Structure 1
Amino acid sequence: MKAITYRAFGAASEVLQLEDLPAPQPQAGEVLVDMVFSGVNPSDVKTRTRGQPGLKGFPWELIIPHSDGSGVISAVGDGVSEDRIGERVWIWNGQFRRSCGTAAQKMALPSEQAVALPDGVSLEVGAVLGIPGLTACFAVFGKGEVQGKTVLVQGGAGTVGILAVQLAKWGGARVIATCGTTGRERVIAAGADAVLDYRAPDLAAQIIAANDGVLVDLVIEVEFGSNIDTDAQVVAENGRIAAYGSAQEMNPSFPFLPLLFKAVTVEIILVYLLTPDERQATIQRLHTALKAGALTCDIQKVYKITEACAAHEAVEAGARQGAVLIQTGVLASS
């Protein structure tokens, strides 16, 4: 089979290559997936340059990257029903703490990590559900319903952010989002009630004004370190800040006193480590939203398997208008 690999950490142009490798075989409890799409996320880029936290050095002979993807089950190992053969699936945690991810024509992994796609949901969308979809859904609903509440989505034009806007609106929340000027129309189309420029010097005041002078119940945060002072000003008493990123400032100053006297819950989300119950509930909620037509997953570009370097560089460049996918196999009916 053909697979994208790297054998050392480094720049995409220096380490990514396309190799012919033996196809894996499903072991007990596993399924073999004929991959069609592989999703490229910022975490895949970081893993390629520095590895995964908790793993020292280059831990394997080679790495097939990417945690997200979609395809069709073609074989099963012992203990897995043969009824799963032919099932269209999406993948979560594909390359988390293991060497072989979704950027290959075939992938063997535990059966529970290949989730059946709802009818009518395309394989392209399936390749976006792992990290972006689960992160957005858990950030919005992980601690309960948002009906009648106000949700602030910082970075509403990002891949996770725009899904969070849609999910929060579907859940019955008033949604305020921040983004740059180029993403404004997309965020409005996603359903945000108010869209503000994240660079505004009086952003906190604008957020509160957009909520009729009332503080917000939930903040979904893409840049915790850069935005925590603003978040502390706008979050309500007993509110929650759900942070899934802080790339610009990894060692933030924490305004403890303002948060203390509002009894704010600050939650750091790492979607790889959801508990089984959390993950199952989030998958079910995500599927319900998809079946209801409440969720559109924007795809910026689908690259060929020979264009892996360009796909990684597109993610590194930022300011995307949707997810970046690599087509690794034959497009099955979706």
Structure 2
Amino acid sequence: MLSDVASDGTTITPRARVWKARRGSRGHTDGAEQVPNQDGAGVVDAVGEGVDPVWAGRRVWIWEAAWQRADGTAQEYVVLPLRQAVPLPDNASFELGASLGIPALTAHRSLTVAEGSPERLGPGALAGRTVLVAGGAGAVGNAAIQLARWAGATVITTVSSPEKEALARAAGAQHVVNYRAGDTAAAIRTVAPGGVDVVVEVAPAPNAELDVAVLAPTGTVALYANDGGDALGLPVLPLMLGNLRWQAVMIYTVPAAAKDHAVAAVSAAIADGALQVGEQSGLPLHRFPVEQIADAHAAVEQGAVGKVLIELP
């Protein structure tokens, strides 16, 4: 085990929709007291038995701290298995490290579940493929755009406003479609006449008709959220004719090997400078001191665009 310490301005980020856990709808500890937040970044303060002492003092980013555990990252110290602490290069900020975790790992899994996809992304791994990212201004959407571009894909994304279009373009999307301004399917098909190979989908129910209309044969919708409703209706015959696939993604429960591939790929992307945060990279940062953690969670609940970070003393 090792402990992550935030004594030097480390920033810890709340998980998307952690406010649901605060309301009791996503508790993972059977009603026990829960320190929230899954992701974070900081410095290893101490190591436990069996861990190489060289880890002490290392800068790390961490993931899934609060999954089926009582201790999340909204505190100065957290003890985790070594596997969940990943070296953070000196040229990568703690803000970046704290913004990775669940969003980046989810994005990687979503980009690698299609038929014929690589297990692990890297430069050129998605060359020749077209990816549609629904909601490119969100945290997962932003990570998916950056990772897909790093891997050589052509990236199309959908947004709901000119402001979000600017963020998606800052993240690296080559084509941005405002779904409130015309025929979205036609606009996507203009860019990708043969269809898109992968859809990274945040709203599978409202976007079902659109996704069917724009998928290429053997294409895949990787759905990682249920924005817009839980009930998903799909037309059977078009799916059969196109050999289309809807693949659900829950990063907490993916196979261990897939998680390891995601962690390794995200680390490689960081090293290459391919993952960035901040408004200039399409992901504005909103900082709250830990004393205002409830306000931070409220900001997420109310739809703050970007990444909400909690700063520890």
Moved more, 46-55 or 296-305: 46-55
Residue 38 (structure 2) pairs with residue 64 (structure 1): no
Residue 164 (structure 2) pairs with residue 198 (structure 1): no
Contact between 2:203 and 2:223, CA under 8 Å: does it hold in 1?
yes
In the TM superposition, residue 189 of structure 1 has moved relative to its aligned partner by: 2.1
TM-score, normalised to structure 1's length?
0.84
Residue 214 (structure 2) pairs with residue 234 (structure 1): yes
In the TM superposition, residue 299 of structure 1 has moved relative to its aligned partner by: 4.1
Equivalent-residue separation in structure 2 for 1:190 and 1:325 (angstroms): 19
Moved more, 46-55 or 225-234: 46-55
In the TM superposition, residue 136 of structure 1 has moved relative to its aligned partner by: 1.4
Equivalent-residue separation in structure 1 for 2:202 and 2:94 (angstroms): 26
Contact between 2:105 and 2:251, CA under 8 Å: does it hold in 1?
yes
In the TM superposition, residue 201 of structure 1 has moved relative to its aligned partner by: 5.0
In the TM superposition, residue 244 of structure 1 has moved relative to its aligned partner by: 0.7
In the TM superposition, residue 185 of structure 1 has moved relative to its aligned partner by: 1.1
Contact between 1:52 and 1:97, CA under 8 Å: does it hold in 2?
no
1:265-304 superposed matches below 5 A:
265-297=245-277, 298-304=283-289
Q: Which runs of 4+ in 1 moved over 4 A?
A: 53-56
Amino acid corresponding to residue 42 of structure 2 in structure 1: G
In the TM superposition, residue 37 of structure 1 has moved relative to its aligned partner by: 2.0
1:220 alignment counterpart = 200
Equivalent-residue separation in structure 2 for 1:202 and 1:67 (angstroms): 38
Structure 1 vs Structure 2: percent identity of aligned residues? 36
TM-score, normalised to structure 2's length?
0.89
* 1:81-103 Cα deviation digits (max 9, x unpaired): 11111011111111011111000
2:4 alignment counterpart = 33
Contact between 1:179 and 1:195, CA under 8 Å: does it hold in 2?
yes
In the TM superposition, residue 119 of structure 1 has moved relative to its aligned partner by: 3.2
Residue 235 (structure 2) pairs with residue 261 (structure 1): no
In the TM superposition, residue 255 of structure 1 has moved relative to its aligned partner by: 2.6
Secondary structure, counterpart of 2:71 in structure 1: coil
Secondary structure, counterpart of 2:226 in structure 1: coil
Amino acid corresponding to residue 272 of structure 2 in structure 1: A
In the TM superposition, residue 41 of structure 1 has moved relative to its aligned partner by: 2.5
Amino acid corresponding to residue 317 of structure 1 in structure 2: Q
In the TM superposition, residue 118 of structure 1 has moved relative to its aligned partner by: 2.6
Q: Identify if the C-alpha distance between structure 1 residues 228 and 246 changes in structure 2 by more than 3 Å, giving closer, same or farther.
A: same
1:50 alignment counterpart = 24
Secondary structure, counterpart of 1:220 in structure 2: strand
Amino acid corresponding to residue 72 of structure 1 in structure 2: V
Larger gyration radius, structure 1 or structure 2: 1
2:122 alignment counterpart = none
Residue 290 (structure 2) pairs with residue 305 (structure 1): yes
Q: Identify if the C-alpha distance between structure 1 residues 38 and 54 changes in structure 2 by more than 3 Å, giving closer, same or farther.
A: closer
Residue 80 (structure 2) pairs with residue 100 (structure 1): no
**Which consecutive unaligned segments of at least 5 residues does structure 1 have?**
1-29, 330-334
Equivalent-residue separation in structure 1 for 2:284 and 2:103 (angstroms): 12
In the TM superposition, residue 324 of structure 1 has moved relative to its aligned partner by: 0.6
* 1:249-293 Cα deviation digits (max 9, x unpaired): 112223333222211121111111232211121111112212212
Alignment RMSD, CA only?
1.7
Residue 308 (structure 2) pairs with residue 324 (structure 1): yes
Contact between 1:305 and 1:328, CA under 8 Å: does it hold in 2?
yes
Residue 85 (structure 2) pairs with residue 114 (structure 1): yes
Amino acid corresponding to residue 111 of structure 1 in structure 2: L
* 1:189-243 Cα deviation digits (max 9, x unpaired): 22212111123452111111122x2211111101111111110111011111111
In the TM superposition, residue 45 of structure 1 has moved relative to its aligned partner by: 1.6
Question: 142, 156, 167: which one pairs with 1:186?
Answer: 167
Equivalent-residue separation in structure 1 for 2:103 and 2:284 (angstroms): 12
Contact between 2:59 and 2:90, CA under 8 Å: does it hold in 1?
no
Amino acid corresponding to residue 100 of structure 2 in structure 1: L
Q: Identify if the C-alpha distance between structure 1 residues 105 and 53 changes in structure 2 by more than 3 Å, giving closer, same or farther.
A: closer
